[in-house]
Amino acid sequence: MSRHEVFHFALKKTIPIMTGFIFLGIAYGLYMHQQGFNVIYPTVMAMTIFGGSVEFIIANLLREPFNPWPVFWLTLIVNSRHLFYGISMLEKYRNAGRQKKVLIFGLCDETFSINYAIKLPSNVNAITFYFDVTLLNYFYWVLGAFLGGLLGQIVVVKLEGLSFVLTALFLVLFVDQLQREQSHFSSISGIITALTALLIFGHNLFLPISMLLVVFIFSIREHFWSK
């Protein structure tokens, strides 16, 4: 498969992400405008942070006195799942060469869901595909943030309901993965673990704790499975 064909293959796979990212990015840009920031702020923050929910949080923190430590710990908690994403992608990104830095920086939830789970045809260069998916998803988010910031300066738009875009996107990706996997052990254990952690530890801590529990469960399973 040629370089051009690989790009179009990646583009086809990221169309659902494009829909969600552009709408959610527009919501973020509009939100930043309502907080008193012009179009430059959401665009540059989307380009440099590329952290989704963290960018919404920082939009509020920018209006308060500068205090880096709460920002650091809050970002670490919210994005702690990326530690596990990185571990999962070590083997896939091993031979990425100069493209590895871009792959690491652009490893968001949606990029991980595609690059980790997809079964590529033998004639597709894996690293090229991973790279294209990463760049496309990055472009969608930055474009959405820019359009939202620009739109906020032109018209007044209420944001009620747009926050569900990301939730809907995750549901679509989850259903797609559920349909393609042979064993539903990972999906079922993930749901049960997350709900249990949410009920016991609350919404502030359930994400990192559920991630640790999932790693523990799969470590035990792998230990006994390999015997």
Q: How far is residue 208's CA from residue 113's CA, in Å, rounded to a whole number?
A: 18
Q: How far is residue 165's CA from residue 200's CA, in Å, rounded to a whole number?
A: 27
6: left (phi over 0), alpha (psi -120 to 50) or beta: alpha
Q: At what angle do helices 206-225 and 81-88 cross, to 10 degrees?
A: 30
Residue 98 DSSP class: G
pLDDT of residue 106: 94
Q: What type of residue sits at position 26?
A: I
User: pLDDT 10s per residue in the chain (227 long)?
Assistant: 888 999 999 999 999 899 888 988 888 888 888 888 999 999 999 999 998 778 877 877 788 787 787 778 777 777 777 887 888 898 899 989 899 999 999 999 889 989 988 889 889 999 999 999 999 999 999 999 999 999 888 876 665 555 555 566 567 667 766 766 677 777 788 788 888 888 988 877 777 788 778 778 877 876 666 55
pLDDT of residue 226: 53
- The structure's pTM equals 0.73
- Residue 85: name the closest of 106, 71, 102 by CA: 106
Cα end-to-end span (Å), the chain? 40
